[in-house]
Structure 1
């Protein structure tokens, strides 16, 4: 038996937590002021987004689950949701493996999934970044630049 792979075990636990949270939201809606910024890699296997979104965000994009979203369906591998981009509802499917960050600014909670190509100095900065997330009320889904989370 080889070494214990704590990194992969931790990622699996974090993805399980996201699945649990989204399953609850799909059943009963968002409680209180909770809302989520979810950044994901658009080119990961299993991601399903409109072609125009893929062209606009060829690497990664951030979606917000807050005031308006429909048909949140959560399964073992990921989740599907309909979001409103301007006046255009679009269906997205995001596998858990594609998620790079999951942030709930209402309680300053966040998860970052490190990968081999991430910058080394990005590690352990999420707590500091969370405090810097600026919230703006909005009725439609919003695409937020990841720069909002970086120093």
Structure 2
């Protein structure tokens, strides 16, 4: 309906602003103390620019960690770019904020989980299971993060909300389901 206020979209936009602000501060002053970010993003989302060999290895989702060895973090209104080392080769990644499905800072038990919306702006997916069944995709399985040769932690496809970056007990994951109309 056109006459309804879309609070779910307003909340998602505000929460993506939190991600943008955290990345901006990290780019300007570095990460203080034990802070580090796990960012899971859709590799097939419009605007994602990653090397082809990474896209082939992670055709749906990829998790990167910004902690000790990241370079040239630049944040724009709708995307960020960063250079990371993969197998001793530095690569530049460009990731739209809309492609991010999970943002976490495990050092303070903070995480945000976003619903993946259809690219064409169609209505939000009703249920996680239905979405996977509609597009014929298998539900991805979680993988344990591992260090590549350059010291970066990379993680392959994950199930929604099943990343290793989920906060420990006592932490809070904010999901948009609480704000969606049932």
Do they fold alike, i.e. is TM over 0.5? Answer: yes
The residue aligned with 2:58 is: 57
TM, length-normalised to structure 2: 0.69
Deviation at 1:88, TM superposition (A): 1.3
| 1:48 corresponds to 2:88 | no
List runs of 5+ in structure 1 lacking aligned partners: 121-133
CA offset digits 1:89-125 (Å, max 9, x no partner): 11000000000000110011000001327626xxxxx
Tell me if the contact between 2:145 and 2:155 (Cα under 8 Å) persists in the aligned partners.
Answer: no
Q: Distance in 2 between matches of 1:29 and 1:108?
A: 19
Whichever of the two has the greater Rg, that structure is: 2
The alignment covers a number of residue pairs equal to: 138
Kindly indicate whether residue 150 of structure 2 is the aligned counterpart of residue 142 of structure 1. Answer: no
The separation in 2 between residues aligned to 1:5 and 1:89, in whole angstroms, is 41
CA distance in 1, matches of 2:127, 2:60: 13
Q: Which has the higher helix share?
A: 1
Question: CA–CA distance in 2 between the matches of 1:92 and 1:33?
Answer: 23
* RMSD of aligned alpha carbons: 2.5
Output the TM-score relative to the length of structure 1.
0.82
Detail structure 1 runs of 4+ shifted over 4 Å in the superposition.
Answer: 134-139
Unaligned runs of 5+ in 2: 117-124, 130-143, 167-182
Confirm whether residue 67 of structure 1 aligns to residue 77 of structure 2. Answer: no
